[in-house]
Amino acid sequence: MVDIKRNPTRPVRIGSVTIGAGHPIAPQSMTATHTQDVAATLEQVNALHAAGAAVVRIAVDSRHDAAALPAIRAGTRANLAIDLQENYRLAADVAPHVDKLRYNPGHLYHHERDKPWQEKVRYIAGIAATHDCALRVGVNCGSVDPAKKEQFAEDDSLGPMLASALEHCELLDAIGFTRYCVSLKDSDPQKVIEVNRRFAAERPDVPLHLGVTEAGMPPDGIIKTRIAFEQLISRGIGDTVRVSLTVPNADKPQEIEAANAILGDIAAGRVRSVVDYGLSSLNIISCPSCSRVENEAFIELAKQVKAMTAYAADHAITIAVMGCRVNGPGETDDADLGLWCGPTHVNLKKRSRELGAFPYDAILPRLREELDRLIAEREHGAVAH
């Protein structure tokens, strides 16, 4: 076993598990069922718990979702975390039934826009303290605090993420709420490595939740995640982890299996050389299946995109396939070609430019047309130079 000197993070209790302060790195996952379907959600929560998930996260987008939580709580021994989306006030409805609340600083602007974000965080922290909940400040590359983005160069995606996370830590510390962890996620493992290293250098006391968002389907998604985890955990950075895979609902426990395999390999010194992933070959990213997906055809579409684009494997092009309207529109902006999936149509983008919405059975030919055009444009540019 390799003797890894862990960062001296403070302990944060989440139900029956504690992260940080040298405790074992805790794997976690997220349900992909519709939260209001209590039976299906409970089945998945308990399957993830049985697979070894220390924490299971559930998305709550509405009061109808929140109303399902008492029955879910009653049916499982798992430590439950809730993903607050755009309505921060749902914290009061969900906190009595869960062990951790996760909020995204970039989503605090969607509800009560005239109210300062600091008031909203104080409200969330107050609810968490009253109901014995931990917090996660979840910063995501595709939904960064807009006020922070304005302070940095357009090509600096990590600066706003880091500044936002540090600012929220400062506020939580100032109001006396220290039972929190932080996550800084991107779909590029190299960016995940850099931004988490920078955060850990500034705040070595704050436990970090590691993950590569939209890692995609196995095995590619596992490889991307392994790249980031090896470089961070080997340096003592990271207290809990999520492997985000695009898999059918029944296969969600694969995320825990993959996380445990990676953690075991790192502890045993079985690590691989980090490659410069995606810079000289086709890179397909896709989000993990979760309860925000509005059409499960998204999962099959991600597989079809991977198969259809195999002919372009030697081209340095990134294609993003996103499953919902919450993160999809923003998180496809950095991809050369992006698809974000709605209930009946798939929205096609070229970087931030919208190219139209197409039925699921018509999107692949349209995507291939744009991919061929992009390859031709780049080859023509190379010849011209």
Q: What percent of the chain has pLDDT over 70?
A: 92
H/E element, 318: strand 318-322
pLDDT of 334? 74
Do 77 and 19 fall into the same domain? yes
Closest CA to 69 of 52, 91, 53, 86: 91
Higher-pLDDT residue of 317, 171? 171
Residue 137 lies in a domain: yes
Q: Kindly state the average pLDDT of the residues 141-164.
A: 91
- Among the residue ranges 72-86, 317-331, 337-351, the one predicted with the least confidence is 317-331
Residue 6 lies in a domain: no
Handedness of CA 85, 87, 88, 94 (dihedral sign): negative
Asked if residue 312 lies in contact with residue 283, where contact means CB atoms within 8 angstroms, the answer is: no
How many angstroms separate the CA atoms of 339 and 323, rounded? 8
Higher-pLDDT residue of 46, 154? 46
Q: Kindly state the average pLDDT of the residues 293-312.
A: 88
Question: Of 268, 291, 322, which residue sits at a domain end?
Answer: 268
Asked if residue 184 lies in contact with residue 167, where contact means CB atoms within 8 angstroms, the answer is: no
Buried b (16+ CB within 10 A) or exposed e, 158-186: bbbbbbbbbbbbebbeeeebebbbbbbbb
How many angstroms separate the CA atoms of 245 and 135, rounded? 24
Closest CA to 137 of 193, 60, 84: 84
Higher-pLDDT residue of 216, 292? 216
Do 148 and 239 fall into the same domain? yes
Q: Kindly state the average pLDDT of the residues 356-366.
A: 96
Please say if the pLDDT value at position 291 is more than 80.
no
Residue 4 lies in a domain: no
Residue 240 lies in a domain: yes
Maximum Cα interatomic distance, the chain, rounded to a whole number of Å: 66
CATH of the domain at 68: 3.20.20.20
> From residue 298, how far is each of 83, 133, 217, 218, 224 by CA, in Å?
21, 33, 12, 16, 21
Handedness of CA 215, 295, 324, 134 (dihedral sign): negative
Do 244 and 303 fall into the same domain? no
Strand partners, 284: 319
Q: Kindly state the average pLDDT of the residues 171-198.
A: 96
pLDDT of 1? 66
CATH of the domain at 367: 3.30.413.10
pLDDT of 289? 61
Confidence band, pLDDT 50/70/90 cuts, at residue 271: low
Confidence band, pLDDT 50/70/90 cuts, at residue 273: very low
- Domain that residue 346 falls in: 283-384
Tell me what the pLDDT averaged over the chain comes to: 91
Do 57 and 96 fall into the same domain? yes
Confidence band, pLDDT 50/70/90 cuts, at residue 240: very high
Question: Of 235, 268, 301, which residue sits at a domain end?
Answer: 268
pLDDT of 43? 97
Please say if the pLDDT value at position 115 is more than 80.
yes
For 349-363, the DSSP string reads EETTEEEEEEEGGGH
Do 249 and 292 fall into the same domain? no
Please say if the pLDDT value at position 107 is more than 80.
yes
36-45 residue pLDDT tens: 999 999 999 9
Do 216 and 347 fall into the same domain? no
* Strands 80-84 vs 337-341: parallel, antiparallel or unpaired: unpaired
Closest CA to 13 of 55, 49, 42: 55
Do 221 and 367 fall into the same domain? no
Do 190 and 74 fall into the same domain? yes
Confidence band, pLDDT 50/70/90 cuts, at residue 353: very high
- 261-270, long-range: CB < 8 A, 24+ apart: 262/222, 262/225, 262/226, 262/229, 262/230, 263/25, 263/27, 263/229, 263/233, 265/226, 266/2, 266/4, 266/229, 266/230, 266/233, 266/234, 267/1, 267/2, 267/4, 268/1, 268/2, 269/1, 269/2
Residue 22 φ/ψ region, left for φ over 0, alpha for ψ in the -120 to 50 degree band, beta for the rest: left
pLDDT of 276? 35
Please say if the pLDDT value at position 279 is more than 90.
no
The total number of structural domains in the chain stands at: 2
Confidence band, pLDDT 50/70/90 cuts, at residue 275: very low
> Roughly how many angstroms between the first and final C-alpha of the chain, as a whole number?
52
Q: What residue type is 243 in one-letter code?
A: V
Give the list of residues 6+ apart from residue 10 with CB closer than 8 angstroms, or none: 20, 21, 178, 205, 206, 207
